[in-house]
């Protein structure tokens, strides 16, 4: 619009200065306007005057009024935006993984110290070749995890408050043992047993049932209802160490079967 106005003002000024008719020619390659009066109105001795207007620096600007070009430009922009979104998502995933890994901002030594204060130690992940599950043994142990105490035996599963630095299928050692017992003896710690240990495996991290907290103040129009689900960790006890394990006595059924076999052999002889 500005170029058109400039051309109009120049043409009007030229027309005001010269009383001759003006012939305007504009070429698309070189935007020049030549103003030449016709030969009929000019004497033979006078040479024709030419007015040239050089191309402005704004003439290189072009506009696309075609819908196809707009659609193509939009498609290109959409493709570029999708590529940028994919790159941003990958970078966000990497940053989230780094944040989750370094969420606590503690080193491995600090994590191990904090876990030992709670009452457990992480050995490593469970492998397929490990044979950790053993048959039942008539033993029991009283362990402390955090501020809670549990009486456990081989093969039991317990739910405790969520342990921070362990994952599912990790092997743990519960080293805060308060008491050990069997049919033959009982060992009581003062308050802990240093040589005793209970081995366990993390089976899952779960949420407890919802507990509703309702508060009310009479004659004050005050009522508040909240819900809470405690995070829990399920442990499976695999072994108890630190006490003499009694020999597994044969059951009554096996004794009866052995007696019947002996009697049959005696009659046949």
Average pLDDT over residues 252-265: 62
Residue for token pair 């599963």:
157
Query: How many Cα atoms within 13 Å fall on the side-chain side of residue 83?
Result: 6
Lowest-pLDDT range, 24-33, 177-186, 253-262?
A: 24-33
Among 117, 133, 125, residue whose Cα is nearest residue 175: 117
3-state class percentages of the chain: helix first, strand second, coil last, to nearest 5: 30, 30, 40
Q: Which residue has the tokens 């991290």?
A: 205
Q: List the one residue out of 69, 83, 182 whose CA is nearest residue 136.
A: 182
Are the C-beta atoms of 193 and 180 separated by less than 8 Å? yes
**pLDDT given at position 61:** 47
Short-list 182, 198, 204, 269, CA closest to 239: 198
Q: Who contacts 239 (Cβ-Cβ below 8 Å, separation ≥6)?
A: 132, 134, 154, 198, 199
The per-type count for the chain, helices as H runs and strands as E runs, is: 4, 13
Predicted confidence at residue 113, as pLDDT, reads: 92
Q: Of 10-14, 61-65, 119-123, give the lowest mean pLDDT range.
A: 61-65
Residues 6+ apart with CB under 8 A from 254: none
Cis peptide before 191 (omega within 30 of 0): yes
- The candidate with the shortest Cα–Cα distance to 148, out of 156, 140, 158, 157, is 158
Is 188:140 a contact under the CB 8 Å cutoff? no
Q: Which residue has the tokens 């072994």?
A: 239
Phi, psi of 11 (to 5 degrees): -65, -40
Taking residues 182-188, report their average pLDDT. 92
Q: Which residue has the tokens 């006595």?
A: 249
Q: What's residue 143's pLDDT? A: 96
- Burial of residue 180 (CB within 10 Å: 0-12, 13-18, 19+) is buried
Beta bridge mates, 215? 224
pLDDT band at 27 (very low <50, low <70, confident <90, very high): very low
Give mean pLDDT, residues 24-34.
47
The pLDDT, as a whole number, for residue 144 is 96
Which residues, at least 6 apart from 201, have a Cβ–Cβ distance to it below 8 Å? Answer: 126, 132, 169, 170, 171, 172, 235, 236, 238
**Phi, psi dihedral angles at 25 (to 5 degrees):** -130, 130
How high is the mean pLDDT of the chain?
76
15 — pLDDT class (breaks 50, 70, 90): confident
- Please tell me the predicted confidence (pLDDT) of residue 226: 97
């Amino acid at each position: 619009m500005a170029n058109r106005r400039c051309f109009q003002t120049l043409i009007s000024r030229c027309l005001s200065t010269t009383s001759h008719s003006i012939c305007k020619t504009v070429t698309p390659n070189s935007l020049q306007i030549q103003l030449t009066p016709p030969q009929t109105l000019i004497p033979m001795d006078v040479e024709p005057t030419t007015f040239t207007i050089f191309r402005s620096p704004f003439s290189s600007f072009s506009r696309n009024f075609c819908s196809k070009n707009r659609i193509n430009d939009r498609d290109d922009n959409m493709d570029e935006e999708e590529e940028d979104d994919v790159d941003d998502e990958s970078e966000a995933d990497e940053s989230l993984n780094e944040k989750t890994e370094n969420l606590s901002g503690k080193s491995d030594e600090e994590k191990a110290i904090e876990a030992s204060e709670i009452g457990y130690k992480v050995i490593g992940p469970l492998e397929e070749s490990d044979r950790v599950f053993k048959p039942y043994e008539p033993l029991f142990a009283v362990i402390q995890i955090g501020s809670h105490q549990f009486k456990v035996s081989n093969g039991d599963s317990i739910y405790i408050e969520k342990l921070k630095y362990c994952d599912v299928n990790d092997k743990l050692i519960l080293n805060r043992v308060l008491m050990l017992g069997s049919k033959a003896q009982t060992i009581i710690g003062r308050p802990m047993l240093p040589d005793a240990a209970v081995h366990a495996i993390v089976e899952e991290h779960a949420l407890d049932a919802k507990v509703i907290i309702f508060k009310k103040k009479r004659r004050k129009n005050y009522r508040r209802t909240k819900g809470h689900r405690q995070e829990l960790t399920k442990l499976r006890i695999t072994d108890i160490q630190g006490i003499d394990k009694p020999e597994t006595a044969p059951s009554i059924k096996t004794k009866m079967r052995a007696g019947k076999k002996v009697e049959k052999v005696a009659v046949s002889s």
